[in-house]
Every structure is written in C-alpha cells, then in structure tokens.
Amino acid sequence: MEYTSPASGGNTALGGTPLAAEPGRVVRVLDGDTYEVLTGGQPVRVRLRGVDAPELSQPFGREAADSVTLLLRGQQVWLTRQGIDLYGRTLAGLRVVTPARPGGVALDSLLVVRGWAWAWDPTRRVAGRVAEQASAQRAGRGLWKCGVGGVVPPHVWRGFKAEIKRRYRGGCTW
C-alpha cells in the first residue's frame, strides 16, 4: 500500500476530484463493517465501503467485530464520506492512522487481507481487493480458516430462514 495524503484519503469523486477526509476516532464497533465515528464533536454512524463483513448472528460475525474492535481501540482514523445508504448510515472509507503511516492504511483492505470480511466492490473501482481476498483464502485467515466451501456471504445469510441458519452453527471456529 502506498502513502496517500490524508486530504484525499486515496479516494476521488466520479469526476476525479479528491474527496475531503476528516479526522476522527471510532467510538463503537456495531459489527465488522459498521461503526460509530466521532468526528467534529459529532457521532456519525458509518458503513464501511469496499467490504461486507459477516453479520453478528452468523458464524465468524462476533469474531470479526471483536477483531475490528481490538484493531481500532484508541486509533485515530481519517473518514472520507461517500454518501448515505438506505438505512441512513454514512457510506465512507476509513484509513487507520499509525506512526509509520500518518496518512493511514485503508481499513477495508486490512479487513479483507486478515480474512475478516469479503471484498465487495460492485463497481470494480478498487483494484486488488479480489486478489487480497484470494490471498486470505489461500492462507486460511479469519473466516476462511476452514476453506471457502461452508462460508456464506452476508447478503445470502440475511435471506436464510432461522432453521437454515441453525444448520450453519458449530463446526469450524475462529
């Protein structure tokens, strides 16, 4: 990953104009890809772009959320707003600030590389996420620990009835 200035967060609008990034701090992790970020003195409910993490109710959901919580505890982030979703959450990119990377490291990339989420980019604008996911799968990281066969993407999981969801409980653990 290359250094990107915090002013753009590595993101651009459709016209190529850099999007402004705001400093913030994650104050609550609701699940692997949804957070409350305190920025400008106001809490903002954020849905992270570029990934789809397991639901809390599905296998590996709680583990992914706990892993993200540990990663973000006490960390400054750069928030780049990119719209609002159907549930009123701010769609955004987040970059985790580290001493070595003051411009931050893309959180969506970290989640995919560590096997905590699926790469999700319907527009195919983020090159490399699919390769990052394939690498995590080959290495058996996170939700790919037991292979790709029994792992159900969240958009499929949400459509399952309770009986089917119960069948996926147990077996492989984090």
Largest CA distance in the chain: 48
45 close to 36: Cβ distance less than 8 angstroms? yes
Asked if 89 is an active-site residue, the reply is yes
Residue 71's nearest CA partner among 95, 92, 103, 55 is 95
Q: What angle do CA 121, 46, 87 make, to 5 degrees?
A: 85
Catalytic residue among 49, 81, 89, 95: 89
Asked if 63 is an active-site residue, the reply is no
Asked if 166 is an active-site residue, the reply is no
Catalytic residue among 47, 49, 81, 95: 47
Catalytic residue among 2, 25, 49, 55: 55
Q: Mind telling me the catalytic residues?
A: 47, 55, 89
